[in-house]
C-alpha cells in the first residue's frame, strides 16, 4: 500500500463488531482522512455520543476507499462475498472479519503478534481469524517458537456476544424472566431465540453447525485456522466449543503437549515478555484471568499456567480475551496499522 499521511477508511456493518471497529479507529487515533460507514440500510447511528451517517451499501460506496474493514457475519455468507471484489477493484485493501476467505490459500489469515509478515502477501484481501482462534494462537505462538508444540486440546467457554446482538438480548431476556417468574418461565416466554438452547443458568457445547466427526464448525475453525496462522499442519488439535451465560469475553482451557520440556515458571516469563499478553497467575490470592476483567481491554490474558503431573511435556493454560476487541475489531484495526506501516 502506498504510504500516505491519512487514509480513506470504510467500515462495513454496524452490528456489535462494526461498532467496536468504529471505537477502535477513534481510540487508537488511526490516521483517517474520510470515514465512510456502510450497511444494509441508510440511517444515523450514535456511538459513544458521536453520530455516524450510515450509507446503504453499494459498489460505488467503495470509490476512493483505501482500507475497507468488513465486520463480517458468522454462520452465513458475509457482505464481503458480494462486495470485496468490488472494493478491491476500486483500489481498497479489504480486511474481512467474516469466515468466507479465511481458508483461501491466496488470502493471508493474520494475527499481528503471530504472523504480521503475511500481510505483505495480500492481493487485496486479508482475513481476520475467528475470535476463539485469535486468543489461543496469541498465547500458543511464543511457546511454539520456544519449544515446539505437538498437541493441543482446548475447551472454549464463549460469551453470548460472539453470536451477535440477538444472542446478547436473548441472555438478557432469559435472565430477566427467571428473576421475575422462576426458572420454568424461560421455556415458554422467550421469543425470537437466537441460540439453539436456553443460555441463562445454562451452558451448551454447540457453536456453529455440526460437521465432520460430529465436531462443530467452530471447533474446525480452531483447528484449521491455527494450522494456517502458525504454519504447521502437524500440530494435533482437538476442540470442544461451549456457549456460556457471559455477555462478553471468551475463556479457554488449553492443554499443550510440547516437543521439549519447559517449566511453568519459564512459560510465565516467556509469555510476560510477549506482545499482546498479560499474565495474571497468582492462584493462592485468587488471581487469574476472568472475562469480566478482560471486557473492554485489547490484550490476551493468560493464567493457571501449570504442568501436567502425569505427562512430562504437558502444560495447561487458561486464556481469556474480549471477543469483540482482540477477537474481532481490534485485531482487524491492528492489521490495518501493520498494512500502513
- Residue spans per domain, the chain: 7-128+328-340, 133-323
Contact at 8 Å (CB) between 297 and 289?
no
For residue 183, what pLDDT is reported? Answer: 66
pLDDT of 336 higher than 70: yes
pLDDT of 173 higher than 70: yes
Which three cell numbers, joined as nine digits, stand for 286?
485468587
Q: Residue 181: helix, strand or coil by DSSP?
A: helix
- 24, 131, 206, 227: the catalytic one is 131
Average pLDDT for 25-50: 97
pLDDT of 75 higher than 60: no
Q: Give CATH for domain 7-128+328-340.
A: 3.40.50.720
For residue 193, what pLDDT is reported? Answer: 80
Which three cell numbers, joined as nine digits, stand for 21?
471497529
Q: Is 131 a catalytic residue?
A: yes
Which three cell numbers, joined as nine digits, stand for 113?
503478534
- What's the pLDDT band for 333 if we cut at 50, 70, 90? very high
Average pLDDT for 135-160: 98
- 10, 24, 227, 250: the catalytic one is 250
Length of the chain, in residues: 341
* CATH fold for domain 133-323: Dihydrodipicolinate Reductase; domain 2 (3.30.360)
pTM of the model: 0.95
Residues pairing with 138 in the sheet: none
**Spatial distance between the Cα atoms of 29 and 336, rounded to a whole number of angstroms:** 12
Q: Is 206 a catalytic residue?
A: no
Give tens-digit pLDDT for 247-256.
999 999 999 9
Contact at 8 Å (CB) between 78 and 96?
yes
Amino acid at each position: 500500500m502506498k504510504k500516505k499521511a491519512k487514509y480513506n477508511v470504510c467500515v462495513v456493518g454496524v452490528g456489535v463488531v462494526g461498532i467496536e471497529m468504529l471505537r477502535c479507529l477513534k481510540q487508537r487515533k488511526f490516521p483517517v482522512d474520510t470515514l465512510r460507514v456502510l450497511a444494509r440500510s441508510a440511517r444515523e447511528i450514535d456511538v459513544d455520543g458521536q453520530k455516524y451517517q450510515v450509507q446503504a451499501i453499494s459498489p460505488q460506496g467503495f470509490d476512493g476507499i483505501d482500507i475497507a474493514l468488513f465486520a463480517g457475519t458468522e454462520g452465513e455468507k458475509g457482505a464481503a462475498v458480494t462486495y470485496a471484489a468490488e472494493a478491491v477493484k476500486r483500489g481498497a485493501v479489504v480486511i474481512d472479519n467474516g469466515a468466507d476467505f479465511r481458508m483461501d490459500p491466496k488470502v493471508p489469515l493474520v494475527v499481528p503478534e503471530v504472523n504480521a509478515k503475511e500481510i505483505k502477501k495480500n492481493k487485496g484481501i486479508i482475513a481476520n481469524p475467528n475470535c476463539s482462534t485469535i486468543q489461543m494462537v496469541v498465547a500458543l505462538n511464543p511457546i511454539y517458537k520456544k519449544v515446539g508444540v505437538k498437541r493441543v486440546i482446548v475447551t472454549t467457554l464463549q460469551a453470548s456476544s460472539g453470536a451477535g446482538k440477538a444472542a446478547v438480548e436473548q441472555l438478557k431476556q432469559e435472565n430477566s424472566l427467571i428473576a421475575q417468574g422462576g426458572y420454568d418461565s424461560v421455556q415458554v416466554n422467550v421469543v425470537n431465540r437466537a441460540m439453539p438452547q436456553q443460555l441463562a443458568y445454562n451452558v451448551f457445547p454447540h457453536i456453529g453447525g455440526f460437521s465432520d466427526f460430529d465436531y462443530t464448525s467452530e471447533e474446525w475453525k480452531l483447528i484449521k485456522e491455527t494450522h494456517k496462522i502458525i504454519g504447521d499442519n502437524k500440530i494435533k488439535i482437538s476442540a470442544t466449543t461451549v456457549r456460556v451465560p457471559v455477555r462478553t469475553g471468551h475463556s479457554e482451557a488449553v492443554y499443550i503437549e510440547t516437543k521439549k520440556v519447559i517449566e511453568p515458571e519459564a512459560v510465565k516469563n516467556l509469555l510476560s515478555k510477549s506482545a499482546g499478553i498479560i499474565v495474571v497467575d497468582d492462584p493462592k490470592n485468587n488471581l487469574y484471568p476472568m472475562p469480566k476483567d478482560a471486557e473492554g481491554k485489547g490484550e490476551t490474558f493468560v493464567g493457571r499456567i501449570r504442568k501436567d503431573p502425569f505427562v512430562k511435556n504437558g502444560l495447561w493454560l487458561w486464556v481469556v480475551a474480549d471477543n469483540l476487541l482482540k477477537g474481532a475489531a481490534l485485531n482487524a484495526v491492528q492489521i490495518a496499522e501493520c498494512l500502513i506501516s
